[in-house]
Structure 1
Amino acid sequence: MIDNFNRDWRYESGDVAGAEHPDFNDSDWQHIGLPHSFSTPYFLSTDFYEGYGWYRKNFKVDKKELEGVLSLDFDGVFQEAEIYVNGQKAGVHRGGYTGFNVDMTPFLHEGDNVVAVRVNNLWRPTLAPRGGEHVFSGGIYRNVRLVKSSPVHVAWYGVGVTTDGLKASGGKSASVNVDVELANTRAEKGEYTVKSILKSPEGNAIGECLSRVMLSGDSLTIVKQSFDNVKSPRLWHPSTPVLYSVDTKIYKGSREIDNVTTDFGFRWFEWTADRGFFLNGEHYVIKGANAHQDQAGWGDAVPDGAHRRDVAMLKEAGFNFIRGSHYPHSPAYLKACDEMGLLFWSEAPYWATAGPKDDGSWTASSYPIVEKDCEEFEQSALDQLAEMIRIHRNHPSIVVWSMCNEPFFCADGTLPGVKKLLTRMVELSHKLDPTRPAAIGGAQRPLGDDRIDFLGDIAGYNGDGGTIADFLNPGIPNFVSEYGVTATLRPGKYDPGWGDLWKDDHWRGHDWRSGQAIWCAFDHGSIFGPALGNMGIIDYFRIPKRSWY
């Protein structure tokens, strides 16, 4: 059972001593709901609060619930979170754009309980990203859910669904592979049954797999199932975003103890070096837009319905692709892309920007300048990449994992470290998800022997990278990941901002270019102010500028 856990929190800015204790008096704190940001309400300021904030919530637990497992699912906290349950530390997470799960069970008791979350958004030399031009506001800015489950249950985002054989059959048949990760939190023993039910877009059962598993106390068990030779599947495509699902049920004897539904789509795609992008066997020109998550008033603390509105506005404008700049977006955002039919470029939070490269600010070098920070920083980038893939792997809209954006904004002498980390990230991406390629986003620098665009399967060139000689017909799959860059206030000019596309023939009309994505879809908060923040075709209040039309 999953309960919305967003309501009735208390919040206080600052690092409040003793706020983790259950008997702490928070009666004079702000009464808030989630999602929430330190900066709420926020309206495009270059300044934002950096420091600590505390969140507290009271809730009841009955005796029956204590027989199972109670955990909290966080979709995103920027950027370090310490979770306390009844005064005891239950978990820690570092990384502002990926979700995480905290098991509260060992710290709970019957009756009244208190969860307290200490959050900070301080710049850290060992935490990715070290820099960027966005605003890095703190807070529990995405959804939180209370998950009640049996001691044996499907692990957090523990179902992975892939399809095979679509290309070979020309879309006429496929197999569906289901990997189920079972968590056994109390080392229980005995036989359990895992049943997966394949369902049509209308919700009708069209296949069933059954596996019996002997648990002997191991904490995690992987169960592999498959539905072979699914005939004439309806293909997911931006014009027909058809979704199937798999219901995964866990039984102890005849009693159902867990049930998880996973949506997915039948589709296949190919990024090619000489012929562009193909979707379901047909050449498909990508017409995309870059999109940040923040919106007027809320800042980063955007509710699910507003994410859906963003996706719908880009779909209505005629785009077929969104580049998630420059961090993993929320599950709700990806769900909207699946359902409305937009391809998605999902990017890990390893990015940087122009400006001073000194430690201590959000314009710092993309890679550490102090040797002792390197190992921990690299692990941070790898961990967040792994979390992004695990959380979002079943979305049919995602056709690439991007490792970065413009990591070449680094201090002198650190480029070898950048290249080493990117190589490690590409290898991890291939290991965790062999079905999707790994991209190097913002790969238009450096030039010559130090190029980074060849480190991945796909190169994304921003801005002038589409016209630099080094990157013309580069011999690898490639994409203009940012073009346009036109700063205007509403209402703006009645001009699509496509000037870059007409500079010369290298931007268009060539089979080796998969497509392009405009910079950018929406105005957003930027530490550099309006010069970079007002480049959207839609303003911060989600009112279209003239260029949207």
Structure 2
Amino acid sequence: MFTMRHCLWAINFWVLFCFCSVGYAYSPREVINLNREWKYMQGDLQGAEKTDYDDNNWETIGIPHSFSIPYFMSKDFYTGYGWYRKRVFFTERNLSGKIFLEFDGVFQEAEIFLNGKFIDRHCGGYTGFSVDITDAAQKGDNVLAIRVNNLWQPTVAPRGGEHVFSGGIYRNVRLVLKSSTYIGWYGTFVTTSGLDVSNGKYGIVDISTEICHSEPETGNFRLVSNILSSEGRIIASAQKIIQLKGNTNQVVKQQTERIEHPFLWHPSHPVLYKLESLLFKGDELIDREETSFGFRWFEWTKDHGFFLNGKHLYFKGINVHQDQAGWGDAVTDAAARRDVALVKQAGFDMIRGSHYPHSPAFSKACDEEGVLFWSEAPFWATAGEKKDGYWTASAYPVRQEDCKEFEENVLQQLEEMIRIHRNHPSIIAWSMCNEPFFTAPETMHGIRKLLERMVARTHQLDPTRPAAIGGAQRPLGTERIDLIGDIVGYNGDGSTILDFQQPPIPNMVTEYGSTTSDRPGEYIPGWGDLQKNDAWKGVEWRSGQAIWCGFDHGSIFGEEMGKMGIVDYFRIPKRSWYWYRNAYANIAPPIWSVSGIPARLRLEASQYTGIRADGTDDVQLTVTVLDETGRELSNSPAVRLTLLSGPGEFPTGSSILFEADSDIRIMDGKAAIAFRSYYAGESVIEATSPGLEPARVKLTFSGAPVYQEGETPQVKNRPYIPFALQKQHKMQSFGLNNPAFGSSAAQGHATGYAADGKLDTWWEPENSDRKVYWTLDTERFLMLDEVCVRFAGAAPYQYKIEVSENNKDWIVVSDKTGNHVPLDSDLIKSDRQVKMHYLRISFPHSERYVTPKLAEVEVRGQLY
């Protein structure tokens, strides 16, 4: 007889079956997006952390946010302080557990206050952090205040770099409510093992989970770890009873049973699994967390390159900076996803995260799109004056009193990068640096020791991935840094210098190309440094190569240095992107736009509905000029996008104007910008241009309070006024450690020896070379003042010195091809205004030809 008791048993069994087969849907942990409705004011304001501070005249903004919005590739940017304030409401129930603020990224120093009380400080602009605000929280209204600065600091990495360093809370902020015993912030580490996971027969999941117990009494807990398939079905599990003493943390180790025939993660089939971590106290679920991961294995080899899941893969990579038009670094998760998708669409299968840890959303997008990822710590530098105070400083501190704190900051950011990103199957290497050799010569010993510490720390934190030395093509000789790690990446001329051919450890070309162009550009690849000896085709012992670079970006050395992407700053592909897409993905290029008679506009959106209004999502709008037949034109009349009704904002406010001669450009008949909202509702946007038929789109935003016409605060218009520092026409010196290329190089006399700062080393060509030349890439655009050439010993050298902006069109600045006088040096003063980026010295063969022994070349000039 089927009784009510049987019915209840059946119901309980069904509930238990559902939980066991598909995992828990409920979680006692509460995660609240905190991106909406902040108050912001630029400057350092006394007392702004206090609860009774009047912020009524501050701007209402949303996160992600940057000090520099709106930003369009200016080399200058505001440096100083900015304050953020927000009111947060807590119930008595909220106060019964732990309360955390989680930040995905603040550049570069953040001081957190709650209700006027200082809570914590974080220094490091590219890694997230968690702050415990439990003790300062109170029932009812709470005032959260964040003091942020982007000041250059001698003890914070990076001390030098080439991109821009705009301040702000430029990545997501979350409020996380947990029980008093909980899984730690990014406290789960998932690895896969198994005797035959390499060919997919079975796999085992190893799990490390950090459990934090904040109660004073000892307690017993149960950790259940379920492995979920992509369909959400539990396919393996493990559980452990743990005893935690009061106010302690413990890392719990678990291992699942065998999982038969797991699908392997690969760029062509990026299959992901989930770990569901369930923490119980008795029968009560007190915390739950999901972690995505993938089954895959890889191997870097020094002789045969890179292998993924047992198969050789010569990866085709690309370097990526994070900033985008208008919003600068303050891009949404959706915008990061679009960047990864553009890379994937062009047939690339690897990204180098130049030159800092990217957002968690970026790594997630690489996992889901199927793109290998080289994640890099923010320890790097650049050419230029090595003086403290700005981001051209020495990579390593020049003052002894700064060294210890600097090294600890570098190690802190390295540890945060690995902790945050370690479960992403797309990540195949942790890179320690990029070009740290751009440092004061006396600090090279410190560089080496710090890199050794970083490599050792990486091995401790994640034994499953190699520690890489990125941008390691200098110095040459006995002080090389390229062999300190497990693998190495060479930039620029490092791909051709004889010293770095078939090194004794696995390697790749981390940068090649560096071709400046405006959209649309030419339908050509940018092999650049790999052109020599057809190195772009790949060699057996090299694992892959990554072009510099994917997207145009802001640069402290001006927009010419920032326009080396195959996609422009507005995220419209250049023709070179289509070349790679044709070569790598076998997709023919479109019909190029042509000049004609404009008749109307077309306005398109990357999505039209279901756009989240919480700062994690946005929509890319693209406007195209058409003739009356609908053909795309290259004509570029001024076009304005205007928000006619509903919520949302451009980086400039409620409208944005694109003009051909503006930083906010329409080019080749196209313009684009990202549009976001922090309120739900339908937005109508219109594209107009004088004399042309306009176009409109409707966008639907959701997941936030509904926009009420006349009641919801209006977006403040932010006119674009490029920030300008006081012009300083300083003479700067270039040549030391800059890329150098030659027609050939004799054994032991690499091209780089003429740019290493040492007179006892030199470049000389091979004896058989009959078209002898040596070229220096200053990596900057400058107005030439003088060139100093030094030789290793006096001889009647005959040569010609030329300079060029594009490495194609050359201007002669000195012609000594008729020289008969022995000389060991030469100083050439420019008697006219000459713009340059490259310098070439050619030595023509003649009866009086003397094999050149070029010891050092120094170029001096002013940046423009």
Q: Given the two structures, how large is their TM-score scaled by the length of structure 2? A: 0.63
Give the stretch that moved more between structures: 218-227 or 393-402.
218-227
Aligned to 2:229: 200
Question: Aligned partners of 1:33, 1:219: CA distance in 2, in Å?
Answer: 37
Which residue is 2:445 aligned to?
A: 416
Match of 2:127 among 86, 93, 98: 98
Q: 1:170: Cα distance to partner?
A: 3.0
The Cα shift of 1:531 comes to: 2.5
The partner residue of 2:556 within 521, 527, 540 is 527
State the partner residue of 1:131: 160
Matched, 1:456 2:507: no
Change (3 A) 1:514 1:166: farther
- Give yes or no for contact 2:215–2:247 (8 Å, CA) kept in 1: no
Q: Measure the CA separation in 1 of the matches of 2:198 and 2:318.
A: 32
Q: Does 1:444 align with 2:473?
A: yes
State the one-letter code of the partner of 2:149. N
**Aligned-residue offset at 1:174:** 1.6
**C-alpha contact 1:167 1:268 (8 A) present in aligned 2:** no
Question: Take 1:167 and 1:484, find their aligned partners in 2: how far apart are those partners?
Answer: 40
Q: How does 1:308-457 map to 2 (within 5 A)?
A: 308-457=337-486
Distance 1:188 1:14 in 2: 46
Aligned to 2:774: none
- Tell me whether 170-179 or 344-353 shows the greater mean CA deviation: 170-179
Deviation digits for residues 163-204 of structure 1 (CA, Å, limit 9, x no counterpart):
112667533112100111011123342211111111111110
Which residue matches 1:43?
Answer: 72
SS at match of 1:504: helix
- Root-mean-square deviation (CA, aligned residues, Å) is 1.0
8 Å contact 1:166–1:267 — kept in the other structure?
Answer: no
Letter in 1 for 2:183: V
Instruction: Name the aligned partner's letter for residue 576 of structure 2.
Output: S
**Partners of 2:196 and 2:147 in 1: CA distance:** 49
**Which of residues 113, 122, 137 in structure 2 aligns to 1:108?**
137
2: CA distance, partners of 1:190 / 1:437: 38
Of 20-29 and 493-502, deviating more is 493-502
What SS does structure 1 have at the residue aligned with 2:412? helix
Task: Give the deviation of 1:156 after TM superposition.
Answer: 0.4
Residue 89 of structure 1: aligned partner = 118
Give the SS at the match of 1:46.
coil
Match status 1:22 vs 2:44: no
Maintained 8 Å contact 1:487/1:530: no
Q: Distance in 2 between matches of 1:483 and 1:464?
A: 8
Which structure has the bigger radius of gyration? 2
After superposition, where does 1:223-242 map in structure 2 within 5 Å?
223-242=252-271
**Mapped partners of 2:377, 2:351: distance in 1:** 15
Match of 1:120 in 2: 149
| Contact 2:198-2:310 within 8 A present in 1 as well | no
The percentage of counterpart residues that share the same residue type is: 62
Give 1:145 deviation, angstroms: 0.5
**Alpha-carbon contact 2:473-2:491 (below 8 Å) kept:** yes
Correspondence for 1:278 among 277, 295, 307 = 307
Residue 34 (structure 2) pairs with residue 8 (structure 1): no
Structure 1 stretches of 4+ moved >4 Å: 166-169
Q: Aligned letter for 1:343? A: L
Question: Which of residues 61, 73, 77 is equivalent to 1:32?
Answer: 61
How big is the shift at 1:132? 0.2
> In the alignment, does 2:494 pair up with 1:465?
yes
Shift of 1:270: 0.4
Query: Shift of the alpha carbon at 1:290?
Result: 0.1
Q: Is the 8 A contact 2:217 2:245 kept in 1?
A: yes
Secondary structure at the residue paired with 2:269? coil
Q: Are the aligned partners of 1:22 and 1:87 in contact in 2 as well (CA < 8 Å)?
A: yes
Deviation, structure 1 residue 292:
0.2
Please tell me whether the aligned partners of residues 167 and 280 of structure 1 are also in contact (alpha carbons under 8 angstroms): no
- Alpha-carbon distance in 2 for matches of 1:228, 1:122: 51
Deviations 1:384-441 (A, max 9, x none): 0000000000000000000000000001200000000000000000110000000000
Question: In 2, Cα distance between the equivalents of 1:547 and 1:535?
Answer: 11
Aligned partners of 1:168 and 1:476: how far apart in 2?
A: 25
- The answer to which of 183-192 and 532-541 deviates more is 183-192
Question: Structure 2 CA distance, aligned partners of 1:188 and 1:435?
Answer: 36
1:71 and 1:338 mapped to 2: Cα distance?
27
Partner of 2:327: 298
CA distance in 1, matches of 2:445, 2:237: 50
1:34 CA displacement: 0.2
**Is residue 228–residue 234 contact of structure 2 (8 Å, CA) maintained in 1?**
yes
Cα distance in structure 2, aligned partners of 1:146 and 1:20: 19
In structure 1, what is the Cα distance between the partners aligned to 2:492 and 2:270?
Answer: 31
State the shift of 1:238 in Å: 0.2
Q: 1:134 to 1:28 in 2, by over 3 A?
A: same
- SS of the residue corresponding to residue 431 of structure 1 reads helix
| Alignment-derived partner of residue 575 in structure 2 | 546
Provide, for residues 348-382 of structure 1, a one-character-per-residue CA deviation record: whole Å limited to 9, x for no partner.
00010000000001000000000110010000000
Q: Distance in 1 between matches of 2:499 and 2:92?
A: 67
Using the TM superposition, give the Cα deviation of residue 506 of structure 1 relative to its aligned residue in structure 2, in angstroms.
4.5
Higher mean displacement: 532-541 or 206-215:
206-215
- TM-superposed deviation, 1:505: 4.5
**Partner residue, 2:655:** none
Once residues 303 and 169 of structure 1 are traced to their aligned partners in structure 2, the CA distance between those partners, rounded to angstroms, is 36
The unaligned stretches of length 5 or more in structure 1 are none
The equivalent of 1:261 in structure 2 is: 290
513, 533, 536: which one aligns with 2:565? 536
CA distance change for structure 1 residues 141 and 292 in 2, over 3 Å: closer, same or farther?
same
Whole-Å separation in 1 of the counterparts to 2:167 and 2:248 = 34
Deviation at 1:317, TM superposition (A): 0.4
Following the alignment from structure 1 to structure 2, what is the Cα–Cα distance between the partners of residues 405 and 216?
A: 43
**Cα pair 1:78 1:120 within 8 Å, conserved:** yes
Q: 1:495 Cα shift?
A: 0.9
Letter in 2 for 1:424: R
What is the distance in 2 between the residues matched to 1:307 and 1:271? 28
Query: Matched residues in 2 for 1:71 and 1:470: separation?
Result: 51
Task: Kindly indicate whether the alpha-carbon contact (under 8 Å) linking 2:306 and 2:543 is maintained by their aligned counterparts in 1.
Answer: yes
How far does residue 218 in structure 1 lie from its aligned partner after superposition? 4.0
| Contact 1:191–1:213 (Cα < 8 Å) also in 2 | yes
In structure 2, the gaps of 5 or more residues are: 1-29, 579-864
Instruction: Give the Cα–Cα distance (whole angstroms) in 1 for the partners of residues 147 and 431 of structure 2.
Output: 30
Q: SS of 1:206's equivalent?
A: strand
CA contact (8 A) 2:472 2:490 kept: yes
8 Å Cα contact 1:472-1:506 kept in structure 2: no
1:142 aligns with 2:171: yes
Q: Is the 8 A contact 2:293 2:424 kept in 1?
A: yes
Asked whether the 8 Å contact 1:242–1:265 carries over to 2, the reply is yes
Instruction: Provide closer, same or farther for how the CA distance between residues 185 and 47 of structure 1 changes in structure 2, counting only shifts above 3 A.
Output: same
**How far has the Cα of 1:153 moved from its partner?**
0.4
CA distance in 1: counterparts of 2:217 and 2:61, whole angstroms: 39
- After superposing the two structures, state which structure 1 stretch, 215-224 or 383-392, moved more: 215-224
